Structure 1
Amino acid sequence: MPPVLHDARPRWLNQDVAIAILAATAIAAHLALRFLARWPGEWHGFDWATWPLLVALAFGAVPLLIGLARDVFRLKFGSDLLAGFSIVTAILLKEYLAGVLVVLMLSGGQALESYAVRKASSALGALARRMPTVVHRRREGQLEELAIEQACVGDLLVVFPHETCPVDGVVVEGRSEMNEAYLTGEPYLLAKVVGSAVLSGAVNGAGALTIRAEKRAVDSRYAKIMNVMRESEQHRPQLRRLGDQLGAFYTPVALAIAIAAWALSGEAVRFLAVLVVATPCPLLIAIPVAIIGSVSLAARRGIVIKDPAILEKLDGCRTAIFDKTGTLTYGEPQVTEILPAGDRTSDALLRAVASLERYSRHPLSGAILRAAEAANVELIDPAEVSERPGEGLRGIVDGKTVQVTSRKKLAAQSPELAEQVPRSSGGLECVILVDSQYAGALRFRDEPRSEGRSFIQHLKPQHAFTRMLIVSGDREEEVRYLADKVGISDVYASQSPEQKLALVRAETARAPTIFMGDGINDAPALTAATVGVAFGQTSDVTAEAAGAVIMDNELSRVDELFHIGARMRSIALQSAVGGMIVSVAAMLAAAAGYLPPVAGALLQELIDVVAVLNALRASWPPAALTDYKRTQARQT
């Protein structure tokens, strides 16, 4: 079955919101009928004022109780179990108003939690709505429209100007530019000519393109993004993990007071009164509010929180694991050497390579184009271009076949030609062949971030990190060059994604870890770490695997993320523990008979309001959100 790329259901419409609205409406109707209605309150024993409450309990309390019973059956005992006891007791004692008030508090807290989960994935929801539903297939000179699911591999599809590309394919006719920022994070337009690969989800420019579909819509890159989104939305983050920990102590205390009150007084209503005032709404509501506020504060600082649960975990991380490129470096290699072979000049070699690289999405293409611009080299339009996996970049420039490849691929293709490439002392390089003959090489360096060393030195004293590692797929000489610059001694180079994953799992088994990276090959490691942080407007897979995304590639933002997490935990504890202390005092009053159930429920609502108002402070920006720059200034 093909993935569903559009979802027309309102995102706010869910069971918790519906139950909360039903409970609030029932309470309002009950009060109106009891105090404002002019007709008699009872008719042949029928209490009009009670019936809205019964409807709310039937259609609101029952689904909540079924959910709680399901959790108990699975041996999941959360802080909301106490609310379930309150609802059942209220029904048995016919204290319907108190029962509906508890339903309102419980469903309201769960609705806030659901909102936080949806907030984390709203960007991917917007991405889903961009996908076209129809394609324009060219067959026997005629255009026909059909559903995107009906497009087959090999079909010729026309992408009109400013349309979204429906499937992955190759250009067979036309010239244009495409914006692939939604997919690759690269903010510039990529030129597309005959032979260029195109990605589903990319936005076409001003020219029409005819492409040959190489994948069906269900197998395309965009569909894979949607599958990842669906799986992530089905995964429920444990937003109340902190609340459940506190509830493990609070719930037995509340039950003990309620049972003692019943046993000593002989009045079951006191049992209900204690449970109602004990309903842990500071845990059910205040903690999700603090989390939502912190997610909002982080967003204003250029940090997208994908998994709100990481805000609780950050303060406990003790091992920092860094990818190299784009994390500790700028991710923008610069050409440092041009090594032409034979009588070919540097400008001639650069012209041939840059003319092809205009049509490539390879990470080194930008560096080559910048070098050509700096050298005032005039580029040539290639006759054709291809860039297939494992083959490198090929094309015809000025009537000659030009190939851009790597030393390793050349050695596998032609060991004799590989021997002509000068030995490298480190850094990145690409090898150029012209008409299947060695023509020269280009070498690059990706310099460390200026703040890298001071940031590494800041982690141990200010955030209690005990271990720092660099894990990279690059060659060891290049990785050690960076490690020496930033002050990290534990280096793991030439690591495949599988090796990165194994290493992160091993380190996480020893101590909580934070992994920072930006490439698709970092996605498994980001998922395996205690906290995964991705840098930049990165790839779709990487962003989905990470718990947080630092949008502007600044290491100082990571320090802000640490402080946002610590501040969220502090404010949540203030709200929850403070509310629990007041609730315990109210429980003792209820146990002594001074608080009937409805009055206790109203007092609990007042406690909730105070706890929530305090929790809202998490969204207010403090005077200072980081101490990294002060530390950096002292070191300077």
Structure 2
Amino acid sequence: MTTATAPPVPRQPAMLFLRSRDGIITLATVVAIIVHLILWFGVGLDGWARDWPLVAIVVVGGLPLMWEVLKSAIATRGGADTLAAVSIITSVLLGEWLVAAIIVLMLSGGEALEEAASKRASGTLDALARRAPTTAHRLRGRSILDGTEEVPVEDIAVGDLVAVLPHELCPVDGEVVEGHGTMDESYLTGEPYVVSKSKGSEVMSGAVNGDTPLTIVASRPAQDSRYAQIVGVLREAEENRPGIRRLADRLGAWYTVIALSLGALGWAISGDPVRFLAVVVVATPCPLLIGVPVAIIGAISLAARRGIIVKNPGMLENASKVRTVMFDKTGTLTYGRPVITEIHTGPGFAEDEVLALAASVERYSRHPLANAIRDGAAERDLPLPDVTEVSEKPGQGLTGMVGGRHIRITNRKTAHQIDPASREHIPVTPSGMESIVLVDDAYAAMIRLRDEPRASAAEFIAHLPRMHDVDKLMIISGDRESEVRYLADRVGIGEVHAGVSPEGKLAIVEKHNQRGPTMFLGDGINDAPAMAVATVGVAMGADSDVTSEAADAVILDSSLERLDDLLHIGARMRRIALQSVIGGMALSIIGMILAVFGLLTPLMGAIAQEVIDVLAVLNAARVAVVRGPLSDFDGK
């Protein structure tokens, strides 16, 4: 049985380090160097008798590393790590096995640290994968009374009946066909409450069932479930190559030319090829190889602690350069939680009566307006009668049986079709959202709602040009002009694009991309195309798989304060990463110049480079360590 358990404790960095190939090479290199020193100073051996551990590790460990370096150099037309390969080859040709081993140690240690830190940063993906449902209880007949069989979740097909036992993870997406209970979907949606489930309710793979067993019919195979989509999106994000790392490759290209030129100069001046080795050893560009990934990983970790999932690390570099910010309306500048503004009742119905009936049925709906209707009933302290059956199918609205009465919550068009007399009673509304309530197929009430702007929205709009040099702000929405203009006036945005289709949003973003970096913020599926083409796409909330997949970053709690954090994290990462890269390269160039004039031997150069590496990594690690507030925006 797949029960809901706490995610396993993440593996410690040391374990991750040692389980990688590069980590094993690093450990073996340290052992080889220690054995070499013992044979040299402890036993007093010389020549091959003392050097054999170094030769072995350079051959066994160095060759695979050099092969990876050469492949990378071909792909990037010569990068920073090319110097490391040159240093190892030169050391071997000159018989400087200790220097070669130290360079192998630097290369393998840097790669192992980066891999371990990357795995540590992907803890969310690991936790999701470990928590994924693995088995399901498939019904042998049409009822749970006929018995169940435990099968791998991959064997569940569309249409299979599955029993979800108390406190068990729901194995597949589906629809409840028997039972009445609740499910905790907070791990998937971020909503901090349980959702009632009854016949006709949709359920999601990965949700935790409550105290009551439910029978569901599978609507999608496990590999296509919402849970599988979340895991897939995060896995894809992990494989993205950061844009700033490409910047490091470009910097490394000319840095390699400088190092080789200085090495050749030292060789020419002295006539000693060891001088060339000393230069290229101290030039080994580990600040580029290690410092940049450490800064990126630190930024991802810092963002995660603030409820921001960075899917494309390259966006962190671009976030600080954005000059045009485009907002969808709902869920970005608004709470995405409409409130009731008016209830217009039909003949023979009272407001509280209809609101209580509607709220009872809405307990089983995930429609954006359902929360508003439930909250409206709660504010009036209305008792909600029990619902014996509920159904929510496309085009039919939400229906349920409450106290023997048939309740339908739908739109104006459907209401006119079911009850033609409603045309005379439902008032015309110039703006806002609405739900039409039918009781026994007769018009009972029109509930008008409106999505209000966030309390901090106006202040945040003023904050962007003042503190982040944003010079163009606009709202792009598929809603009606009156609704979009109402919001724009409330928050202080002058440019409005209303009634825009997804294709239209895409065209607007592409147009503004021509004038500089852009950011698009949205939370709906119709925002995905625009979000994907914007320089930086940010999804507010994690309710839509499609939107999250298109976004570069996902702000889980949909707050503008976290968006400001993201902008500052991007600027901080870029600033500190460049400090590590340029500072480390500057120190290395100083060391190269000393080596040109014979003031540093190859061994001294290797030790000096290790010191430079430590300084670069320590500086890059500062990205994740923030003392005091990160954001300069307080939306409270």
User: Would you call these one fold, judging by a TM-score over 0.5?
Assistant: yes
- 348, 353, 366: which one pairs with 1:348? 353
Q: What does the per-residue CA deviation read over 1:350-395, in whole Å, with 9 as the maximum and x for residues that have no partner? A: 1221111011111111110111122232212222111123332112
Task: Give the whole-Å Cα distance in 1 for the aligned partners of 2:397 and 2:255.
Answer: 63
Secondary structure, aligned partner of 1:251? helix
- 414, 427, 440: which one pairs with 2:445? 440
- 24, 29, 36: which one pairs with 1:23? 29
Higher deviation after alignment, 204-213 or 512-521: 512-521
The verdict on how the C-alpha distance between 1:514 and 1:113 changes in structure 2, with shifts beyond 3 A counting, is farther
Spell out the pairing of 1:142-153 with structure 2 (5 A cutoff).
142-153=147-158
The verdict on how the C-alpha distance between 1:324 and 1:118 changes in structure 2, with shifts beyond 3 A counting, is farther
The verdict on how the C-alpha distance between 1:384 and 1:608 changes in structure 2, with shifts beyond 3 A counting, is same
1:275 has 2:280 as partner: yes
1:562 has 2:563 as partner: no
Secondary structure, aligned partner of 2:331? coil
CA contact (8 A) 1:120 1:308 kept: no
- Residue 136 of structure 1 and its aligned partner are, at CA, apart by 1.0
CA contact (8 A) 1:117 1:237 kept: no
Higher deviation after alignment, 540-549 or 363-372: 540-549
1:136 has 2:137 as partner: yes
Spell out the pairing of 1:410-425 with structure 2 (5 A cutoff).
421-425=426-430
Q: What does the per-residue CA deviation read over 1:49-99, in whole Å, with 9 as the maximum and x for residues that have no partner? A: 323323322333222222232233334433222222222222232322222
Spell out the pairing of 1:183-222 with structure 2 (5 A cutoff).
183-222=188-227
Task: Give the whole-Å Cα distance in 2 for the aligned partners of 1:536 and 1:303.
Answer: 10
Secondary structure, aligned partner of 2:401? strand
Question: 2:205 is aligned with what amino acid?
Answer: S
Task: Give the whole-Å Cα distance in 1 for the aligned partners of 2:219 and 2:625.
Answer: 50
Question: 1:33 is aligned with what amino acid?
Answer: L
Secondary structure, aligned partner of 1:50? helix
- Residue 148 of structure 1 and its aligned partner are, at CA, apart by 1.3
Question: 1:59 is aligned with what amino acid?
Answer: V
Task: Give the whole-Å Cα distance in 2 for the aligned partners of 1:472 and 1:328.
Answer: 12
Alignment match, 1:452: 457
The verdict on how the C-alpha distance between 1:227 and 1:286 changes in structure 2, with shifts beyond 3 A counting, is closer
The verdict on how the C-alpha distance between 1:613 and 1:228 changes in structure 2, with shifts beyond 3 A counting, is closer
Alignment match, 2:3: none
- Residue 501 of structure 1 and its aligned partner are, at CA, apart by 3.6
Task: Give the whole-Å Cα distance in 2 for the aligned partners of 1:600 and 1:449.
Answer: 58
- Residue 335 of structure 1 and its aligned partner are, at CA, apart by 0.7
Higher deviation after alignment, 533-542 or 559-568: 533-542
- Residue 521 of structure 1 and its aligned partner are, at CA, apart by 3.9
CA contact (8 A) 1:184 1:540 kept: no
Secondary structure, aligned partner of 1:187? coil
Task: Give the whole-Å Cα distance in 1 for the aligned partners of 2:242 and 2:420.
Answer: 52
Task: Give the whole-Å Cα distance in 1 for the aligned partners of 2:453 and 2:417.
Answer: 32
Alignment match, 1:3: none
Secondary structure, aligned partner of 1:307? coil
Q: What does the per-residue CA deviation read over 1:158-182, in whole Å, with 9 as the maximum and x for residues that have no partner? A: 1110101111112122111001122
CA contact (8 A) 2:240 2:312 kept: no
Task: Give the whole-Å Cα distance in 1 for the aligned partners of 2:419 and 2:50.
Answer: 89
Task: Give the whole-Å Cα distance in 2 for the aligned partners of 1:232 and 1:92.
Answer: 42
Higher deviation after alignment, 603-612 or 488-497: 488-497
Question: 2:408 is aligned with what amino acid?
Answer: Q
1:295 has 2:295 as partner: no
Question: 1:504 is aligned with what amino acid?
Answer: V
Higher deviation after alignment, 492-501 or 566-575: 492-501
Task: Give the whole-Å Cα distance in 1 for the aligned partners of 2:425 and 2:478.
Answer: 25
- Residue 212 of structure 1 and its aligned partner are, at CA, apart by 1.6
- Residue 151 of structure 1 and its aligned partner are, at CA, apart by 1.6
Alignment match, 2:398: 393
CA contact (8 A) 2:125 2:235 kept: no
Task: Give the whole-Å Cα distance in 1 for the aligned partners of 2:398 and 2:148.
Answer: 32
Task: Give the whole-Å Cα distance in 1 for the aligned partners of 2:251 and 2:499.
Answer: 45
Task: Give the whole-Å Cα distance in 1 for the aligned partners of 2:302 and 2:191.
Answer: 26
Question: 1:90 is aligned with what amino acid?
Answer: S
1:481 has 2:491 as partner: no
- 565, 572, 576: which one pairs with 2:577? 572
The verdict on how the C-alpha distance between 1:139 and 1:228 changes in structure 2, with shifts beyond 3 A counting, is same
- Residue 538 of structure 1 and its aligned partner are, at CA, apart by 4.6
CA contact (8 A) 2:241 2:314 kept: no
Question: 1:366 is aligned with what amino acid?
Answer: N
Spell out the pairing of 1:290-439 with structure 2 (5 A cutoff).
290-407=295-412, 421-439=426-444
Task: Give the whole-Å Cα distance in 1 for the aligned partners of 2:496 and 2:244.
Answer: 35
Secondary structure, aligned partner of 2:231? helix
The verdict on how the C-alpha distance between 1:122 and 1:67 changes in structure 2, with shifts beyond 3 A counting, is same
- Residue 543 of structure 1 and its aligned partner are, at CA, apart by 4.1
- 231, 235, 241: which one pairs with 2:240? 235
- Residue 149 of structure 1 and its aligned partner are, at CA, apart by 1.4
Alignment match, 1:255: 260
Secondary structure, aligned partner of 2:335? coil
Secondary structure, aligned partner of 2:78? coil
- Residue 116 of structure 1 and its aligned partner are, at CA, apart by 4.8
1:14 has 2:14 as partner: no
Secondary structure, aligned partner of 1:161? coil
- Residue 289 of structure 1 and its aligned partner are, at CA, apart by 2.6
- 37, 41, 46: which one pairs with 1:35? 41
Task: Give the whole-Å Cα distance in 1 for the aligned partners of 2:452 and 2:389.
Answer: 34
Question: 2:490 is aligned with what amino acid?
Answer: K
Question: 1:197 is aligned with what amino acid?
Answer: E
Q: What does the per-residue CA deviation read over 1:292-348, in whole Å, with 9 as the maximum and x for residues that have no partner? A: 333333344444433333222222111111122221112221111111112211122
- Residue 277 of structure 1 and its aligned partner are, at CA, apart by 0.4
1:492 has 2:497 as partner: yes
Alignment RMSD, CA only?
A: 2.8
- Residue 119 of structure 1 and its aligned partner are, at CA, apart by 4.3
Task: Give the whole-Å Cα distance in 2 for the aligned partners of 1:202 and 1:278.
Answer: 53
The verdict on how the C-alpha distance between 1:100 and 1:423 changes in structure 2, with shifts beyond 3 A counting, is farther
Task: Give the whole-Å Cα distance in 2 for the aligned partners of 1:576 and 1:129.
Answer: 37
Secondary structure, aligned partner of 1:454? helix
- Residue 418 of structure 1 and its aligned partner are, at CA, apart by 5.8
- Residue 270 of structure 1 and its aligned partner are, at CA, apart by 1.6
CA contact (8 A) 1:334 1:446 kept: yes
Task: Give the whole-Å Cα distance in 1 for the aligned partners of 2:420 and 2:276.
Answer: 85
- Residue 275 of structure 1 and its aligned partner are, at CA, apart by 0.6
Question: 1:576 is aligned with what amino acid?
Answer: V
Question: 1:582 is aligned with what amino acid?
Answer: L
Secondary structure, aligned partner of 2:458? helix
Higher deviation after alignment, 297-306 or 337-346: 297-306
- Residue 416 of structure 1 and its aligned partner are, at CA, apart by 7.6
TM-score scaled by structure 2? 0.90
- Residue 229 of structure 1 and its aligned partner are, at CA, apart by 3.2
Question: 1:20 is aligned with what amino acid?
Answer: T
- Residue 412 of structure 1 and its aligned partner are, at CA, apart by 8.1
Alignment match, 1:615: 620
Question: 1:345 is aligned with what amino acid?
Answer: A
Higher deviation after alignment, 182-191 or 47-56: 47-56
- Residue 413 of structure 1 and its aligned partner are, at CA, apart by 7.8
CA contact (8 A) 2:226 2:545 kept: no
Question: 2:110 is aligned with what amino acid?
Answer: G
Task: Give the whole-Å Cα distance in 1 for the aligned partners of 2:529 and 2:96.
Answer: 53
The verdict on how the C-alpha distance between 1:415 and 1:282 changes in structure 2, with shifts beyond 3 A counting, is farther
- Residue 557 of structure 1 and its aligned partner are, at CA, apart by 2.8
Task: Give the whole-Å Cα distance in 2 for the aligned partners of 1:509 and 1:166.
Answer: 46
Task: Give the whole-Å Cα distance in 2 for the aligned partners of 1:40 and 1:16.
Answer: 30
CA contact (8 A) 2:153 2:171 kept: yes
Alignment match, 1:87: 88
CA contact (8 A) 2:237 2:311 kept: no
- Residue 439 of structure 1 and its aligned partner are, at CA, apart by 2.6
Spell out the pairing of 1:488-527 with structure 2 (5 A cutoff).
488-527=493-532
Alignment match, 1:126: 127
Higher deviation after alignment, 331-340 or 220-229: 220-229
Q: What does the per-residue CA deviation read over 1:532-571, in whole Å, with 9 as the maximum and x for residues that have no partner? A: 3333455455445433333443323322332232233222
Task: Give the whole-Å Cα distance in 1 for the aligned partners of 2:70 and 2:152.
Answer: 44
Task: Give the whole-Å Cα distance in 2 for the aligned partners of 1:82 and 1:420.
Answer: 80
Secondary structure, aligned partner of 1:395? strand
Higher deviation after alignment, 384-393 or 201-210: 384-393
- Residue 604 of structure 1 and its aligned partner are, at CA, apart by 0.8
The verdict on how the C-alpha distance between 1:136 and 1:302 changes in structure 2, with shifts beyond 3 A counting, is closer
CA contact (8 A) 1:186 1:537 kept: no
**Unmatched 5+ stretches in structure 1:** 1-5
Task: Give the whole-Å Cα distance in 2 for the aligned partners of 1:15 and 1:175.
Answer: 51
Aligned pairs, number: 621
Identity of aligned residues (%): 51
CA contact (8 A) 2:238 2:311 kept: no
